[in-house]
Structure 1
Amino acid sequence: MSWKLGGWAASRLSLAIFGLCAAIVPLRSADAITTSPFAALVGRWTGEGVLGFKASKPERVKCRATYILDPASQNELKQTIRCATSSGAIEVISNIKEAGGKLTGHWKETIHNFEGDLTGDVTPKGFRVIVRGADISANMDIVVRGSMQAVEIQFVNSSLIGLSMAMKKG
């Protein structure tokens, strides 16, 4: 996948994502095994990124994500990601459950009308998710370090190519 952005925007985004990924430490330490793997995500996040389309040039996006943890179970998470460009938008809503480091749930992109079941894993860096449905195939990686988060979604056989974003909590 090859996206082109102008000068400082590409450099700034690349450095932010690279710096975040290079500085990653495991989400769970030996003394925090009972903590929900979703705990670091809970709250509201904002940032910028790039959204790629098959039929046109990639566009810069401004994004916000909200993560809500089910207080009763601590292993169920609702994720909402909304991004806007000058010509459109993307909105992803996921309901995710974790058990033994494995993820299951449902994923839906509401603007372009894609949805499917998700599976995945909790990783030392965050989360790796695979989405499969009748009209969608996508891979999503979420990397979290403190108040920084990087999200990368690659779409397969879709009008969308991918979404890359770096966000800050708060």
Structure 2
Amino acid sequence: MTSARPAHRRHLLCALAAPLALAIQTGPSAAEPTFQPLLGSWGGSGTYRLQDGTSEKLKCDAYYTGSGSQLGIAVRCQGQTNKIEMRSKLTANGGALSGSWEERTYNAAGSVSGKLTEDRLSLAITGGVGGSMIVTYDKSKQTVAIATEGIPLKSVTVSLSRK
């Protein structure tokens, strides 16, 4: 009789635990990340660095437009001697990103692929310039870090706040 009682308890425990395990497995899934926190106008400053070690301070404006799975990006930065005007169109499929980019001042263009999370865009840039672009953000601020390969421009880092 004593051996039946622990078996009974195990069965009862399993019967009670099964709905909990099912609820955990079928609970609400995390929402897919969206571009919503980025939409709007942003402004700030940053720095670009060249391969020869020189750098220059920049004043920048960024504009994010779109809805649903589409995002348009326009970033304009002006330094004392140089300017950068980058545009990109991105499409999200879940967390995967794809799209195109162009830099109008230097007449370069290419494709973009990457990943979207709730607080970050991670992009690989190919085409006229190779490199990466990381945008980390929340509702009121963002940081843009661009690293390039094979051209005199080595990197651009910008801190922006919502306008």
Which bracket does the TM-score occupy, shorter chain normalised? 0.7 to 0.9
Which residue of 2 is the match for residue 142 of structure 1? 135
Match of 1:108 among 89, 102, 106: 102
Bigger CA radius of gyration: 2
Letter of the 2:31 counterpart: I
Which residue of 2 is the match for residue 52 of structure 1? 49
Match of 1:77 among 50, 62, 71: 71
Gap regions ≥5 residues in structure 2:
1-27
User: Tell me, what secondary structure is at the counterpart of 1:104?
Assistant: strand
User: Tell me, what secondary structure is at the counterpart of 1:111?
Assistant: coil
User: Tell me, what secondary structure is at the counterpart of 1:146?
Assistant: coil
Q: TM-score, normalised by structure 1?
A: 0.75
Q: For residues 111 and 54 of structure 1, what CA distance do their matches in structure 2 show? A: 19
Aligned 8 A contact 2:38 2:139 in 1: no
User: Tell me, what secondary structure is at the counterpart of 2:74?
Assistant: strand
Q: For residues 50 and 76 of structure 1, what CA distance do their matches in structure 2 show? A: 28
Q: Cα gap change, 1:32/1:67 in structure 2, threshold over 3 Å: closer, same or farther? A: farther
Deviates more, 1:78-87 or 1:117-126: 117-126
User: Tell me, what secondary structure is at the counterpart of 1:40?
Assistant: helix
Deviation at 1:32, TM superposition (A): 7.2
Gap regions ≥5 residues in structure 1:
1-29
Aligned length: 136
Match of 1:127 among 121, 127, 151: 121
Q: TM-score, normalised by structure 2?
A: 0.78
Q: Which has the higher contact order (CA 8 A, sep 6+)?
A: 1
Q: For residues 118 and 69 of structure 2, what CA distance do their matches in structure 1 show? A: 17
Aligned: 1:154 with 2:147 = yes
